[in-house]
Structure 1
Amino acid sequence: MEPYTEDQVSGSCKYINRDLSWLEFNRRVLEEAQNENTPLLERAKFLAIVSTNLDEFISVRAAGIRNQIKSGVTEKDFSGYSPPGLMKRMIRRTERLVADQYATFRQVSDRLESEGIVFTTYASLSSEQQEEMNAFFFSKVFPALKPIIVSEKQPFPLIASNGLYYSIVLKSAGETSNHEQPTMALLEIPLQIGRYIDVAAPDKKRTFILLEQLIKSHIPALFHERTVIDAHLFRIIRDADLPLEEGNVEDLLYEVERKLRRRLRGAPVRLEIEKSVHPYALEWLQRKLDVYDDVALLEGPIDISYLMKLSQSLTEYDQLRYAKQKPMYPQAFKHQSFFEVLQQRDVAVFHPYESFDAFNDFIAQAARDPLVSAIKMTLYRVSKQSKIIRALVHAAESGKRVTVVVELKARFDEERNIAWAKKLELAGCHVIHGWIGLKIHAKMTLIERREPGGLKRYIHVSTGNYNGQTAKIYTDIGLFTSQAEIADDIGDLFNEISGFLPHRESHVLAVSPTDLRMKLYSLIHREMNIAASGRPARIIGKMNSLSDPEMINKLYEASRAGVKIDLIVRGICCLCPGVPDQSENITVRSIIDRYLEHSRVFCFANGGHPEVWLSSADWMNRNLSNRIEVMCPVIDQGVRQVIIRLLMLQLKDNVKAHQLLSGGKYRKVTEESPYIRSQYMSLAIINARNLPV
């Protein structure tokens, strides 16, 4: 990792740059792929995650910096970087990261081959295998190929972002001079067929060939009148961060659909191409696509995200992946209805250790229950096959009042959310397409039930999305409660969202953009006052990202006041810990393991009477100032104790934790007996619900 120096940050490491911090997070993910103790197919999955993470980073963050440069922005950000200076360092670090990624890919590929999982070339196939692949090519692949001869007199064809293409250098059959300008052609790889093809092998090995390899062997058959001089694979990554023009939008759904069409033509940001490409083809692509500064010549397959699907599909190689861990169904809901349980106590469900089926069943039960009159919930990212959607449709068709806030602006999930919104509207649900100017990122559900004693409200708030697929691999907490104060606040917030009304002060919730930030400041100041009185003061914060400079300054202020602050920040962290007279009482650690750490949990010691809050919000400016987010107190003492135990366990992790040092570098926490791997030890704490802290 390139060390931070004083000329790279503002002051003596006061802030770490957000984008460089994000790249270092991806470096930590890559380390899991490099770790020999990680099961082999899991190493392949981590390589795929690095690939998809980098694609998003380039299409959003790097594209945004590039746009600033084009607009002539030269001002430095709060971490001390100007856009041109930051872009240079981003490209340099990305180059090193990708080089290490492909070196690791080659190591993992060799190990897979030794286990009988082989990727081969067409030339290496036996004659029988070639015949099989020829038949597959002409029946399945050839009809989908559309080669394009590119003339200088015609507009350059649209190249899809993240699509795979061959750039093909051609020479006419009668051409004899080497000085004539070559003819260029493009050929898109039809990825709908699948990135790789299973080849029958007599030795019981699983043998595959990449689709582009099979196509390359048959390219000469596509150009009968010309000679193929060169054919190399490439792709471009386009700017995907196209802002909505929300000022006078009357139909947000239409505007989001229009944005998606524009995304297809976003400016190219990065060109990736096979290393031995013909010089003329490289110059031609750079000129046509106007990409010069971020060009990657790759020694290996372009876009190795296919390793994710591959690792999941090889079911006969379970010995090469983590041992299966079936999520438990929460004990509290096994023998009683949700409503009977929640009339007595709150229940927290901890994903992925406990099953998301509990929430699916909560909504399904509400949809069937004749006493339930209304269901309200927010949807940000939903799985493709969502049981929640089916239950909401059933509830609406049964005559219940169903209100669903579908955030159409959830990046890269826009199309799916538009489809769900239309399906819910057809079923009779009241669908709110988000707010103009604010993303609705809060995760909350309200059930209204007419019981003998009157109207009763049941609530679920979550740190993560209502997505049954990601709940299997993301650590999140879902809180079920019927606490009247929480229910009243959630009910008011839904009414404000559906009525497009400004938020009023809540009883117990904190809501951004109006008061969540100030509530956090208030809780921090309380710890500072406790420290000033000579009593122990402590804050534990767990989140995905910390980049808001005002919040960082507030934490620095608390550190100087004597408050002990322990932060568990998975990804971006712009705070510089351990600096004398600034952050010497602050520690920051990042845990990268089997599951993606995703929950946002904040604990304040409060003089021996700890408070715990769950939230949908990271400590980023966008979450605290430009989104509708919720931070909810954990009132139930038993639930609070379990969450504190889990936080304390993560602070002791010495197997999968990295510590952020004062200079901006991360160091793997040294393994020492007893070994504490928090994700593997969390289940015991979750099962021991009511033990004292």
Structure 2
Amino acid sequence: MVDFKHPKFYVNREMSWLAFNDRVLDEARDSQNPLLERANFLSITQKNMDEWFMVRVASLQQQVMLGHEKVDAAGQTPQEQLAHVSLAAGQQIKNQYQVLTRRLLPALKREGFELLSADALTPAQVVFLKSFFEQELLPVLTPMAIDSTRPFPFLANDTLNIGVRLKKEDEKSEKYIAVLQVPETSGRVIALPEEKQYILIEEVVRLFLASLFPGYTIKESMVFHVLRDMELDVADDEDTPNILQEVQSKLQERERGRIIRVILSSTTSKALMTKLIKLLHVDEARTYLVNGPVDLTFLSAWLKLLDTPALRFPVFHGFDNPDLAPATLFDQIKQQDYLLHHPYDSFKPVVRFIQTAAHDPQVLAIKMTLYRVSGKSPIIKALGEAAQHGKQVTVLVEIKARFDEENNVHWARELERQGVHVVYGLRGLKTHAKVALVVRREDDTIRRYVHLGTGNYNDVTANFYTDMGLLTSDAELGADVASIFNILTGYSDPGFFHQLHMSPDGIREFIYEQIAHEIANAKAGKPAGIKMKFNSLSDERMVRHLYEASHAGVPVELIIRGITILKVGIPEVSETIAVHSIVGRFLEHSRIYSFENDGNPKVYLSSADLMTRNLDRRVELLFPLKADRLRDEVRAIFQTMWQDNVKTRVLQPDGQFVKKDRRGVATYDAQEIFIADSLAKQKKWQKQLDLTEATRRFEPLNNPFVNEDDGGDV
């Protein structure tokens, strides 16, 4: 009997995450991508890694400090994981800077875009920057000396700072140390008067640093970046009277979390580096020297200044289905379900669903969950308008959504101000489900209209995240969604759902049942198979069930963008499991769960990944596609992605992700195929519209004598 729990069958979660980030870095290396997009991919890897350090590495450090010895699925203690990932992260940082200095900066220079160092400036540029420094930077710079009466200052999270070693002009000692935070008021990248030449703000500060320390000689200055532990430990129990105030309080505390990582310029002397490490109380294992600009997120600021469409992906707008125009939206959804595949299908119909409901006199109530929304959300605006029009509007705002807490607290307050009933979810659980309910009076009946999605109600990220959504008026789904909101807003235990499955517990148990059913079919010689797409697989128990399915001979196809602790190709354990990862222009974010079911496939979409937190500690929804045409459409979408040989990496038995061999085969880029299909639909509808308009122009009037300007009199 195979022991599916054995650590040798599992990969460490954090190492798997680093492997994912390296796949993103690979897009920055790929010369087939437009140059500015490659630079953007590199910036994304830095943002990804920063968040990973602030949350995951910080969590490991906390476990080590508390003396936790519990091993992960791969058999490693927190101490072993922390040492392992700190070293691996250092190698990835080196790889990032190799991509920057050896590939991207030279390529940008060939296109005429140059990032200058201080010693490359012309005299005229120095004059320009001196004026800029004195007017824009000098008033906000605060040099902070470090001595017996002036202790080391607090350095905020995610800030760029300059460390300075000085010598007093009448002394020999070089013992004087100071730091100053690089201001963010003028942006990170400064455009020079000469076209296409730029300089980083920290270089400008260092150029005129001497003016801040009269009477002293600067012996050394260096740039460093600080990250802190940003986990938000919110008490969410019976002793917490007001969760909104608790989150606001913890947000302030979080800013002072322990320093978890420091990145310094490689030109830093050993003496100054040692001094800073001691003052910052950071582990030397998480102190990294880099050969280039500290903090690669400067690239995103620089890219905003480089308006060169030819070096970008072509502009793309998803298909906006004319069926779902405001005048016909509810009538169309009443007739049939609509599947939306974003961004290839526009997110506008989802926004319009709420906007139309807000102004429709037949709509009685709107209920909705919000996890992440944009800074100027049209959905928030529409919900406020609906409340002002006298409709019952209830919104669950998840104020514990990581790094969106402050934004969501703001929106919660704003919605309350406009008369919306705002709730903050179930005690002890994050609400990650994406669902909206519109209750409408039609003749002598009440009809429920529902949107269920795999992604957030964010009209901005919907343009570059791939997600799926369902618009339906199905009575059973509507009743289930109504029950969900009763659970979220009141005291309710419905006992069962007609069609939906809900975490905690419900989604896990349902997927277990479906896997068991496929195992039984495989053993009986019936058609069996599992096809799933999600962002991460880190739940050990779920992996064991997939191993059991493979052991029974069930073919398992998994498309996983990010983490997977599962291994493939292990005899008697995972021989029938294949894992693909697609990293491309759009961030793969949709979740699909499909089961062969003896030739009568079942297809579900969900807000949940197969992570312990999603299955056990969050409110998530998994919902079926009941219409055959929609099931077929999603299965076809999955198959298109499975055949991709451009942006797909295939997991190997040794744990590496390797691109498919394209020698002798046609290029098959799933995201580009979906873009082409979307453009074809747009072209088809435009052609039909043009034909309709042309026909209308030549239609005879029913009464040629009517003059609209005079009210119809002859």
Q: TM-score range by the shorter chain?
A: over 0.9
CA distance in 2, matches of 1:687, 1:648: 20
Task: Select 1:230's aligned residue among 216, 220, 239.
Answer: 220
Residue deviations 1:211-254, cap 9 Å, x none?
Answer: 00111101000111211111101111110113212232111111
CA distance in 2, matches of 1:220, 1:49: 35
Mapping 1:478-493, distance limit 5 Å: 478-493=469-484
Change (3 A) 1:304 1:502: farther
- For 1:166, the equivalent position in structure 2 comes to 162
Conserved 8 A contact 1:376-1:494? yes
Change (3 A) 1:335 1:253: closer
Change (3 A) 1:319 1:387: same
Alignment RMSD, CA only?
Answer: 1.6
Mapping 1:4-83, distance limit 5 Å: 11=6, 13-83=8-78
Mapping 1:105-116, distance limit 5 Å: 105-106=100-101, 107-116=103-112
CA distance in 2, matches of 1:331, 1:633: 25
Change (3 A) 1:684 1:522: farther
CA distance in 2, matches of 1:121, 1:36: 26
The residue matched to 1:164 in structure 2 has which SS?
strand
Conserved 8 A contact 1:69-1:84? yes
- For 1:262, the equivalent position in structure 2 comes to 253
Task: Output the amino acid matched with 2:41.
Answer: F
The residue matched to 1:541 in structure 2 has which SS?
strand
CA distance in 1, matches of 2:79, 2:636: 45
Residue deviations 1:439-465, cap 9 Å, x none?
Answer: 000000000011104111100011000
Q: Which moved more, 1:394-403 or 1:670-679?
A: 670-679
CA distance in 2, matches of 1:342, 1:626: 33
- For 1:306, the equivalent position in structure 2 comes to 298
CA distance in 2, matches of 1:135, 1:688: 54
CA radius of gyration, larger in:
2
Residue deviations 1:473-519, cap 9 Å, x none?
Answer: 10000110111111100010001100154563211100000311111
User: Are residue 560 (structure 1) and residue 551 (structure 2) matched?
Assistant: yes
CA distance in 1, matches of 2:5, 2:201: 48
- For 2:197, the equivalent position in structure 1 comes to 207
CA distance in 2, matches of 1:231, 1:502: 63
Task: Select 1:607's aligned residue among 580, 584, 598.
Answer: 598
Q: Cα distance, 1:11 vs. partner?
A: 4.2
Task: Output the amino acid matched with 2:23.
Answer: R
Conserved 8 A contact 1:366-1:447? yes
Conserved 8 A contact 1:10-1:79? no
Mapping 1:132-147, distance limit 5 Å: 132-147=128-143
Change (3 A) 1:335 1:466: closer
Alignment length (residue pairs): 674
Residue deviations 1:98-139, cap 9 Å, x none?
Answer: 101001011201100110111112332222222222211111
CA distance in 2, matches of 1:664, 1:124: 45
- For 1:246, the equivalent position in structure 2 comes to 236
CA distance in 2, matches of 1:325, 1:561: 44
Change (3 A) 1:501 1:150: farther
Task: Select 1:326's aligned residue among 293, 313, 317.
Answer: 317
- For 2:85, the equivalent position in structure 1 comes to 90
Mapping 1:357-368, distance limit 5 Å: 357-368=348-359
Q: Cα distance, 1:629 vs. partner?
A: 0.2
Task: Output the amino acid matched with 1:266.
Answer: G
Task: Output the amino acid matched with 1:224.
Answer: P
Conserved 8 A contact 2:373-2:457? yes
The residue matched to 2:548 in structure 1 has which SS?
helix
Task: Output the amino acid matched with 1:175.
Answer: E
- For 1:406, the equivalent position in structure 2 comes to 397
The residue matched to 2:119 in structure 1 has which SS?
coil
Change (3 A) 1:138 1:356: same
Conserved 8 A contact 1:536-1:563? no
Q: What TM-score do the two structures reach when normalised by structure 2?
A: 0.92
Q: Which runs of 5+ in 1 are unaligned?
A: 1-8
The residue matched to 1:608 in structure 2 has which SS?
coil
Conserved 8 A contact 2:166-2:174? no
Q: Cα distance, 1:12 vs. partner?
A: 7.2
The residue matched to 1:587 in structure 2 has which SS?
strand
CA distance in 1, matches of 2:318, 2:420: 31
CA distance in 2, matches of 1:506, 1:432: 22
CA distance in 2, matches of 1:564, 1:670: 22
Mapping 1:539-558, distance limit 5 Å: 539-558=530-549
Conserved 8 A contact 1:645-1:685? no
Mapping 1:354-503, distance limit 5 Å: 354-502=345-493
- For 1:192, the equivalent position in structure 2 comes to 185
CA distance in 1, matches of 2:493, 2:164: 58
Identity among equivalent pairs (%): 38
Change (3 A) 1:352 1:224: same
CA distance in 2, matches of 1:330, 1:231: 58
Q: Cα distance, 1:10 vs. partner?
A: 7.4
Q: Which runs of 5+ in 2 are unaligned?
A: 682-714
Residue deviations 1:63-118, cap 9 Å, x none?
Answer: 11111111112232121111121112101211111101001011201100110111
Task: Output the amino acid matched with 2:656.
Answer: K
